[in-house]
Amino acid sequence: MFALLGATAAVLLARGWDARVVDPAQPDAQPSEPRLVQPLAAAPSPSPQEPVSERLDPSFDRDQAMPVRARAVASYTMRAALDPVAHTIVGTSNVRWTNASTQPVRELYLHLYLNAFKSERTTFMAQRVPGGRGTGALLDAGHLTISELRVPAMSEDNLWPWARPADPTNPDDETDMRVPLPAQVAPDSEIEIEVKWQAKLPAIVERSGYWGTFHMVGQWFPKIAKLQADGTFAHFAYHHLGEFYADYGDYDVTIEVPSRFMVGATGERVGDTIDGDRRVVRHVQRDVHDFAFAAWDGFEEHVADAGGVSIRCLVPRGYGRAAAKQIEAATFGLQYFAAKFGAYPYATLTIVHPPTGAEEAGGMEYPTLITTGGPWYEPSWVGVARSLTLHELAHQYFYGLVGTDEATWPMLDEGLATLAEVDALQAGWGAGAALRVPGLSLSAFAVLRGMGLQGGQDAVIAQPARSFSSARTYGTLVYARTALLLETVGRAYGDGIQGTVGRYARRYRYGHPGPSHLLGAVRDVLGDAAAEALRVGLFDRGWVDFAISDMRCDAERDGSGQHRCELVMTRRGNLRLPVQVDLLLEDGTRQRITWEGLEPQELVVHTGRSPVIGVIVDPEHRIMLDEDLANNAMTTHSRAQAWRVHALGTTLAAMVIGAIAR
């Protein structure tokens, strides 16, 4: 059976390979030179709940419609030296920053995320919500201190002494800093900013920090906040549930570590030299909006090539099995996502598997670098490692290449990444993607449904991360329910949601889209009703429960031999979706009708020679958000006994009794 699984994966891998070089929308078409399409400077929509007015035509289903490059708004050339004993990084940054807005700018906002771990009084620490990572005690604080910030074109003065926390309600939070500039920066003008800084990494907490000699260095350098089209900055304090948002740029980073350390970092490694007891590596990457690296003297390196993308997997020593599994998933995912959402534009992908004890660093995405986790021995019939790898890889698109605002609209990255992950698992590993033992399998979609319906109406999905009151609610809504909602809308109004998401991903590559852009894509591919259903689901705590409430059949009294059957169908909840209904007739045939589901209840009358003996609402499980499938079927026969379950349960219980009760 496992050989069969392997063969299936191999076939799918081959399909993925093909899909990379041939446009899946037009498999017979020859690859052509990409057109140069400028990335969007996404103008804010009047309302995030309203679809954008721009129409997305089918040309955006093809890679040729994608922009080739991002506009480099904030490019960083940095040099950083890691001291793994003191857990400090001394660094310098040279930032080329362009005012990409339409307004002159007189100030800068800088995110110093590591300051979230400076004390218990920061916004991150003081406003932590129950659940999730980052809730443990702060074992060793971290911080990011700027000593100098200069804009030579404006003044030789150090501007940092004038910097102040941007959030006046919490002066103890220095994750969001405002720096006044001595002169204004005109639209489309560029300035160079020189920064000298020192970072102290915390003991591993919420993605960053150290564990022994392992160092996960994320959110570690002074970073300019995203400039919006109207000249304002999307700046925010680092919150427990929140993530990040930044402009695209080109990164050139030189990292110095002890010579025994191995470094995995964003981008291509263009230099790696040993100088005495120090190792100096240089990584460069265009068209990204963040940079992270991991350094450790316990790494074991595994490499692979996936259709021209160089995969480098750094795992703890002895984790070869885990590396193989993650590389297999990443190889498949790169090809699959490229076919669905547009070509992966980078030459490298680095996978970092943190050691046991540093789990909080795992399961995170950075441009061209993802972190995973899990034991070295995960058996092949369990799919956790591949699920995690595919999820983080999907983030290369949903957050990475579209550049959404993770802090304000987390469902746009986590929800879409979850959707892409589950879809890839289904395509690559089928019904047993989550679990496969002889006679029993569990698909990724089944697991997704189990997660997304637990407390799925507890809060609005489309809200900033900081507005969620618990990590459990955040996880349920932002990850699972968003994916369930999108899949439901796609299946209810078409053949799935992937085509829509593909058009969205290509159109808004490097474009910083918001919810209105996703709504617009759904409108243009699946129709207005679909977009409205998505809006209700995202913004109005949309839910739905289809049920067959009643059924009655009587023979017509006119002697015609006809039967008149009345069925009462019910839609509970505020999501209006069309649904298929199968009528099972006594002669063994089925008749399918579609109920638009516009009203809460509808009486359906069926007349025919053969009476209806059963009804199934949504027989193909298109409405994945349906709260209760037990009420989706009704029969005139007596309820079937679950004798298969009883027989199996009896056997298992008898074995346990035989083993214990002696």
CB of 524 to another protein, least distance (A): 30
Tokens describing residue 306: 């996936």
Q: Do residues 123 and 239 make contact, with C-beta atoms less than 8 angstroms apart?
A: yes
Stretch that binds another protein, among 69-77, 395-403, 437-445, 502-510 (CB under 8 A): 437-445
Stretch that binds another protein, among 20-28, 31-39, 102-110, 434-442 (CB under 8 A): 434-442
**Which residue number, 164 or 260, has a Cβ lying nearer to another protein?**
260
Instruction: Report the chain's C-alpha Rg in angstroms.
Output: 27
CA separation for the pair 551, 120 (Å, rounded): 62
**Which residue number, 118 or 436, has a Cβ lying nearer to another protein?**
436
CB of 588 to another protein, least distance (A): 11
The answer to whether residue 652 forms part of the interface with another protein (CB under 8 A) is yes
Residue type, 193: I
**Which residue number, 307 or 619, has a Cβ lying nearer to another protein?**
619
CB of 210 to another protein, least distance (A): 16
Which long-range contacts (C-beta less than 8 Å, at least 24 apart) are formed by 155-163?
A: 155/182, 155/183, 157/182, 163/110
Give the residue, chosen from 442, 460, 568, 604, that forms a contact with another protein under the rule CB under 8 A.
442
**Which residue number, 253 or 548, has a Cβ lying nearer to another protein?**
548
CB of 484 to another protein, least distance (A): 12
The answer to whether residue 377 forms part of the interface with another protein (CB under 8 A) is yes
Comparing CA positions, the residue from 307, 268, 311 lying closest to residue 286 is: 268
Helix-helix angle 2-21:416-429, to 10 degrees: 120
The answer to whether residue 355 forms part of the interface with another protein (CB under 8 A) is yes
Pairing of strands 176-185, 214-217: unpaired
Q: What angle do CA 651, 655, 657 make, to 5 degrees?
A: 115
**Which residue number, 122 or 443, has a Cβ lying nearer to another protein?**
443
Q: Do residues 262 and 297 make contact, with C-beta atoms less than 8 angstroms apart?
A: yes
**Which residue number, 190 or 300, has a Cβ lying nearer to another protein?**
300
Structure-token match 């379950």, residue found: 645
CA 196, chain centre distance (Å): 33
Residue type, 32: S
446-505: which residues touch another protein (CB under 8 A)? 446-447, 449-450, 453-454
CB of 433 to another protein, least distance (A): 9
Q: What is the DSSP letter of 293?
A: E
Tokens describing residue 143: 């911080």
The answer to whether residue 4 forms part of the interface with another protein (CB under 8 A) is no
Write the CB contacts of 320 (distance below 8 Å, at least 6 apart in sequence).
300, 302, 376
**Which residue number, 84 or 355, has a Cβ lying nearer to another protein?**
355
Give the residue, chosen from 337, 445, 468, 510, that forms a contact with another protein under the rule CB under 8 A.
445
Query: CA torsion sign, 200 to 202 to 206 to 208?
Result: positive
Give the residue, chosen from 27, 161, 168, 438, that forms a contact with another protein under the rule CB under 8 A.
438
Helix-helix angle 482-493:444-452, to 10 degrees: 120
The answer to whether residue 86 forms part of the interface with another protein (CB under 8 A) is no
Binding flags for another protein, 551-590, as an x/- string (CB under 8 A): ---------------------------------x------
Stretch that binds another protein, among 18-26, 316-324, 471-479, 601-609 (CB under 8 A): 316-324
CB of 567 to another protein, least distance (A): 13
Residues in the chain: 662
Q: What is the DSSP letter of 113?
A: G
Write the CB contacts of 521 (distance below 8 Å, at least 6 apart in sequence).
56, 500, 501, 503, 504, 507
Write the CB contacts of 596 (distance below 8 Å, at least 6 apart in sequence).
576, 578
CA separation for the pair 347, 311 (Å, rounded): 9
Stretch that binds another protein, among 105-113, 268-276, 521-529, 629-637 (CB under 8 A): 629-637
CB of 616 to another protein, least distance (A): 7
Q: Do residues 351 and 312 make contact, with C-beta atoms less than 8 angstroms apart?
A: yes
The answer to whether residue 381 forms part of the interface with another protein (CB under 8 A) is no
> Distance from first CA to last CA of the chain, Å, rounded?
36
Write the CB contacts of 382 (distance below 8 Å, at least 6 apart in sequence).
435
The answer to whether residue 3 forms part of the interface with another protein (CB under 8 A) is no
CB of 589 to another protein, least distance (A): 13
Comparing CA positions, the residue from 244, 201, 204 lying closest to residue 224 is: 244
**Which residue number, 30 or 638, has a Cβ lying nearer to another protein?**
638
What is the spatial order of strands in the sheet that 249-258 belongs to? 143-150, 190-200, 88-98, 74-83, 249-258, 278-288, 268-275
**Which residue number, 403 or 611, has a Cβ lying nearer to another protein?**
611
CA separation for the pair 358, 373 (Å, rounded): 9
# binding residues, another protein (CB under 8 A): 60
Give the residue, chosen from 97, 245, 319, 344, that forms a contact with another protein under the rule CB under 8 A.
319
Comparing CA positions, the residue from 421, 373, 361, 372 lying closest to residue 395 is: 421
The answer to whether residue 36 forms part of the interface with another protein (CB under 8 A) is no
Give the residue, chosen from 26, 102, 356, 549, that forms a contact with another protein under the rule CB under 8 A.
356
112-171: which residues touch another protein (CB under 8 A)? none
The answer to whether residue 441 forms part of the interface with another protein (CB under 8 A) is yes
Stretch that binds another protein, among 282-290, 329-337, 371-379, 399-407 (CB under 8 A): 371-379
**Which residue number, 609 or 646, has a Cβ lying nearer to another protein?**
646
Tokens describing residue 483: 């994916």
**Which residue number, 81 or 633, has a Cβ lying nearer to another protein?**
633
Give the residue, chosen from 187, 231, 307, 430, that forms a contact with another protein under the rule CB under 8 A.
430
The answer to whether residue 654 forms part of the interface with another protein (CB under 8 A) is yes
DSSP string, 589-617: -EEEEEE---SSEEEEEEEESSPEEEEEE
Give the residue, chosen from 431, 460, 568, 604, that forms a contact with another protein under the rule CB under 8 A.
431
Give the residue, chosen from 376, 455, 540, 578, that forms a contact with another protein under the rule CB under 8 A.
376
The answer to whether residue 425 forms part of the interface with another protein (CB under 8 A) is no
| DSSP H or E run through 333 | helix 320-341
The answer to whether residue 27 forms part of the interface with another protein (CB under 8 A) is no
The answer to whether residue 661 forms part of the interface with another protein (CB under 8 A) is yes
CB of 641 to another protein, least distance (A): 5
The answer to whether residue 633 forms part of the interface with another protein (CB under 8 A) is yes
CA separation for the pair 126, 119 (Å, rounded): 9
The answer to whether residue 657 forms part of the interface with another protein (CB under 8 A) is yes
Binding flags for another protein, 584-623, as an x/- string (CB under 8 A): x-----------------------------x-x----x--
CB of 363 to another protein, least distance (A): 18
Write the CB contacts of 137 (distance below 8 Å, at least 6 apart in sequence).
none
CA separation for the pair 214, 357 (Å, rounded): 10
CA separation for the pair 142, 86 (Å, rounded): 11
Residues that bind another protein (CB under 8 A): 316-319, 355-356, 375-377, 430-432, 435, 438-443, 445-447, 449-450, 453-454, 584, 614, 616, 621, 628-630, 632-635, 639-658, 660-662
